[in-house]
Structure 1
């Protein structure tokens, strides 16, 4: 269970599987920078030319433990090797993920740019690791085709709910997907799905549309907006 609402969740976009990191890091920093350039102008000297925003990045350093220690915050506790195999699989299959930091407005589409792990001081009960994430932006290309006969329009299939869907929520918020920490009620609230936990009692986590986690609700309590 996330402590004080703080928790780090990673959702694999390929199958909507969400995993909470078991031990919260002592700090998390988000790096934002722009592609500024400088040039020298006669009679002015060096000037700055403002550039576009570069891809943001986040680095997380923590540990995977063999035992459920008192500082483990995740309810869905796994062995270090299970976490390692899952993260390596995402990296090897070139999947992108949704990184959500509970208790904050940080919810970004990222890729795992670097994953380093190992044993410190030969202590086999604990794996130290560093995860580096880089913002993922999908490149979109517009294909220009020659004019063709208009196609017959068919009814669009019904939309399916998933991570990123905008929904209307009517139900009580909970701190985790098992129903702990019952909180406020949402009534006709417009929210966004940030991650899913299939098979759990409260499998849908929602946030404000523009960021900011709200909590877990039943699937029957949400509908597409």
Structure 2
């Protein structure tokens, strides 16, 4: 199978018409150096930094050329530019996938440069990405307890609440994974796996798409396969 590059923008996939000739991925750690008395400089270990990478390619005017991926959408170079500009200006999350290369990273577009080099009307571009990590703030409300002299009654156990499944929530998955929400491509079976819901297709037989907690994709499952944490 030939290598293909996808840009998945908010769940919609775009196959690049021409693969980049080169891609280099930078993975760093936020270590820092400090001076310690009677010991000198030491390296203080930090957490993993966000991955970033970039590549160059072009959008061909002639979509029937032999070097163009036949599976890509036949967009004009100008429409390709508008699609990426819209994703960048709208702060859209973009998942970059390189098949058979082990590249599957949720990102944001950091920079996008494009232009013309000759009379073919091909658009040449350079694009850079930075890894995106899901996060959310937690707010803590302080409640002052009232002092009561009345005799305390034993607390009654509250019935468990059925929390709704929403995009971004964590769930426990027990069920078989599928390639799409219609049930195509059945794969591995999850057992008591802690996952995250990133897409919901209401009305489908397999309405929930789950990922690893770090964003790595798993597949679509039935509603009865997930239970919110």
For this structure pair, what is the TM-score category when the shorter chain's length is used for normalisation? 0.5 to 0.7
Residue from 45, 51, 55 that aligns with 1:60: 55
CA deviation vs aligned residue, 1:42-73 (integer Å, no higher than 9, x gap): 44332222222111012121111001221111
Q: Which residue of 2 aligns with 1:89?
A: 86
CA displacement at 1:40 relative to structure 2? 2.9
Quick check: 1:116–1:129 contact (8 Å CA) kept in 2? Answer: yes
| Structure 1 contact 106–212 (Cα < 8 Å) conserved | no
Supply the distance in 1 between the matched residues of 2:8 and 2:40 (Cα, whole angstroms): 49
Instruction: Please tell me whether Structure 1 or Structure 2 has the larger radius of gyration of its CA atoms.
Output: 2
Counterpart residue number, 1:17? 12
Unmatched 5+ stretches in structure 2: 144-157, 180-184, 202-208
**Alpha carbon RMSD of aligned pairs, Å?**
4.3
Q: Give distance in 2, aligned partners of 1:109 and 1:152.
A: 38
TM-score (normalizing by structure 2): 0.65
Mapped partners of 1:100, 1:84: distance in 2:
19
Pairwise mapping of residues 157-196 of structure 1 onto structure 2 (< 5 A)?
168-169=176-177, 186=186, 189=189
Aligned to 1:30: 25
Give the counterpart of 2:73 among 72, 76, 80.
Answer: 76
CA distance in 1, matches of 2:217, 2:4: 11
The answer to which structure, 1 or 2, has the higher relative contact order (CA under 8 A, 6+ apart) is: 1
TM-score by length of 1: 0.66
Q: CA deviation at 1:19?
A: 0.8
Aligned residues: 192
